[in-house]
Amino acid sequence: MIIILNQDITPYEFDQLADKLQSNRLGFHRSNLGGKQILTIPNAPSGFDIRQLQMLDGVQEAIEINEPYKLASKRWKKEQTAFEVQGVEIGGNAVNIVAGPCAVEDEEQIFAVAECLYKNNIKFIRGGAYKPRTSPYAFQGLKTEGLKLLRNAADAFKLRVVTEVMDLSLLDEVYQYADIIQIGTRNMSNFYFLSELGKIDKPILLKRGMAAKIPEWLMAAEYILSGGNEKVILCERGICTFDDSVRNTLDVAAFPIIKELSHLPVWSDPSHGTGIRNRVAPLALASIAAGADGLILEMHPNPEVALSDGPQSLYPHQLEELVSQLKPIAKVVGRHLDCELIGHLV
């Protein structure tokens, strides 16, 4: 259940409401989301008559939501969430394209990537500065220097930065350089971390846990939303299955399911969802056809020498070719690519 409070609710009216909830053994969480004061009630029993709350002073509306994820539910918000990132809309009619290397390696590499994106009118650059790797001996990223290089390249070519934060201790640093903050699959269930992300004002790209069910993924988003940050983008990046012919199994069915259950925009990561370069494009096309609102793609000027994820990284010419293939698919489903918008300054 969600209770929307009047903006001018008095302390006395709130105390009366709180007493009513407590007398019915109903816990609540108070937050401000989208300019509205709301109470989220996770434990309303089946059959509870919400009319006794709607009649109280200070209550604008009470909405019955049975799903455990309240604020991520379409019952709470029927229209899709949309917001702008440096003048580019997320969650609107345009399909967003994000591309770049798994890891920032040096100035020459990241500036070459940025120039390629600019020439293709792509608005977002991705790149890791702090890299969570399975092996402690693998390349861990350039860290602060990588963030600076990524930001400098983005600014030089009028791009927006998408990069991952691995740990709460790094949030303030990454915040300075990122336009969208990525939360990787390993942190989807780091609930305290997610709660803290609810307190900031930058969009969060929340990747699905590698073994997470869709309701668990939406509950992770709920932690961010309940903190007051409604700029959440879900990202399907493939799940672990018994099939070893791919690195991960991209769950294309997740896109229509998310559209049925939630108002949050959802992107696809076919690079991690396959792990093999020549399978990225087909899964990217399938994702847009299935309803994905965007793509996050790995691309490297020379994948053979990439320090991370070279086998799943597109060559620049493959990225350009994929964008041309995506345009008619987007049109068929009534949308367009954000890189089709005129000019590099939007």
pLDDT in tens, the chain (346 residues): 999 999 999 999 999 999 999 888 889 999 988 889 999 998 777 778 888 888 899 999 999 898 999 999 999 999 999 999 999 999 999 999 999 999 999 999 999 999 999 999 999 999 999 988 788 888 888 999 999 999 999 999 999 999 999 999 999 999 999 999 999 999 999 999 999 999 999 999 999 999 999 999 999 999 999 999 999 999 999 999 998 888 999 999 999 999 999 999 999 999 999 999 999 999 999 999 999 999 999 999 999 999 999 999 999 999 999 999 999 999 999 999 999 864 444 4
How far is the C-alpha of 287 from the C-alpha of 273, rounded, in Å? 11
For the chain, which domains are there? Answer: 2-63 (3.30.70.1140), 83-340 (3.20.20.70)
Predicted TM-score of the model (pTM): 0.93
Beta carbons within 8 Å of 8's beta carbon, 6+ residues apart = none
Q: What sign results for the dihedral spanned by CA atoms 267, 270, 275, 277? A: negative
Residues β-bridged to residue 48: none
- pLDDT of 223-252, one tens digit each? 999 999 999 999 999 999 998 888 999 999
Residues β-bridged to residue 61: 4
Asked if 209 and 217 touch (Cβ cutoff 8 Å), the reply is yes
